[in-house]
Amino acid sequence: MSASDPSLTDELLEDVRVAVYQSLARTGRLPDPDQLVSIAGSAKRVTAAIEQLAQQRAWALGPDGSIELAHPFATRSFGYSVMSATTLWWGGCCWDSFAIPHLVPDCGPTIIAGACPACDRPLVWRVDTHAPPSGPERAHFLVPTSRMWDDVIHTCSNQLLFCNDECIDAWLQRTGYDEGYRMDLATLWRFAAEWYAGRLERGYRRREPAEARSYFHEVGLRGAFWGLPEVPRQAEVR
Ligand SMILES: [Zn+2]
Ligand SMILES: [Zn+2]
């Protein structure tokens, strides 16, 4: 990794970031390389800007140094397609996929499809911004928030939707992974709804850890997995 290039101002980095996000939102694809060159001044500076933005966690790079995950968008399959009337996206994890219809302005209802990681059954949901989809499926998140960015590609690859709890059990047994965190579709939908708000516009600011924790709590997530205090079961009001 090269050291950060001092000629890349915050403003220029933000121009590059927004161009990438706007293109992904509009088309599901990265912008034309020429467009980024015209913003940054040269191909070398584009590479440096993309690297610097990766260090700031604007996105995650693949082995070849290209953008692989610009949450909630991916540039390769992470297991989920998200389809609107006009656009087809790769969602990152299930959380990212559910976030896309909330984030992309006026995209209308989407069809999100994937396969159960345990039994390979095809799963599909119609997701819009009005109400969570209904269904028995359950999401399982493997990596706790405190370690999410240790290897964000691994983290995202393991935020998955299953047919039900039995399929999560079978998958944990097969992979040897420890139990992470399970949630229903309604919680996943609420969790995804506002998380990425503002990311397509200039001046987006990532949530501070305390802000993130209060968002997690607000949408119904509980316990140490989310950096929240453990709630004794009998004390939980439902
Ligand atoms: Zn299944
Ligand atoms: Zn993700």
- What would the pLDDT profile of 164-199 be if each residue is shown by its tens digit? 999 999 999 999 999 999 999 999 999 999 999 999
pTM for the predicted model, two decimal places: 0.93
In the prediction, which pLDDT does 237 show?
A: 53
Residues 38 and 41: their CA atoms lie apart, in Å, by: 5
Whether residue 172 sits in one domain with residue 58: no
- Percentage of the chain beyond pLDDT 90 is 91
Whether residue 114 sits in one domain with residue 65: no
Domain end, chosen from 45, 70, 95, is at 70
Residues 91 and 111: their CA atoms lie apart, in Å, by: 11
Ligand 1 centroid distance, CA of 170 (Å)? 9
Query: Do 105 and 86 meet the contact criterion of CB atoms below 8 Å apart?
Result: no
User: Rounded to 5 degrees, what are φ and ψ at 213?
Assistant: -60, -40
Whether residue 199 sits in one domain with residue 108: yes
Domain end, chosen from 54, 70, 86, is at 70
Q: How many structural domains compose the chain?
A: 2
Ligand 2 centroid distance, CA of 42 (Å)? 31
Whether residue 87 sits in one domain with residue 168: yes
- Largest alpha-carbon pair distance within the chain? 61
Q: How many residues would you count in the chain?
A: 238
Whether residue 131 sits in one domain with residue 21: no
Ligand 1 centroid distance, CA of 134 (Å)? 17
Residue 5 has pLDDT above 80, yes or no: no
Q: Which ligand is nearest to the CA of 192?
A: 2
Residue 11 has pLDDT above 70, yes or no: yes
- Which segments within the chain are labelled E, that is strand? 60-61, 67-70, 73-74, 80-83, 88-91, 110-115, 122-127, 138-141, 159-162, 181-184
Query: Do 108 and 84 meet the contact criterion of CB atoms below 8 Å apart?
Result: yes
Whether residue 123 sits in one domain with residue 58: no
Whether residue 103 sits in one domain with residue 30: no
Ligand 1 centroid distance, CA of 145 (Å)? 25
Ligand 1 centroid distance, CA of 105 (Å)? 32
In the prediction, which pLDDT does 236 show?
A: 54
Ligand 1 centroid distance, CA of 152 (Å)? 25
Residues 32 and 22: their CA atoms lie apart, in Å, by: 12
Whether residue 37 sits in one domain with residue 147: no
Q: Which ligand is nearest to the CA of 159?
A: 2
Q: Which ligand is nearest to the CA of 100?
A: 2
Domain end, chosen from 70, 88, 111, is at 70
Question: Domain of 30?
Answer: 10-70
Q: Which ligand is nearest to the CA of 152?
A: 2
CA-to-CA separations, 202 to 36, 116, 156, 187, 231, in angstroms, rounded: 16, 37, 25, 29, 38
Whether residue 59 sits in one domain with residue 117: no
Task: Report if residue 66 sits inside a domain.
Answer: yes
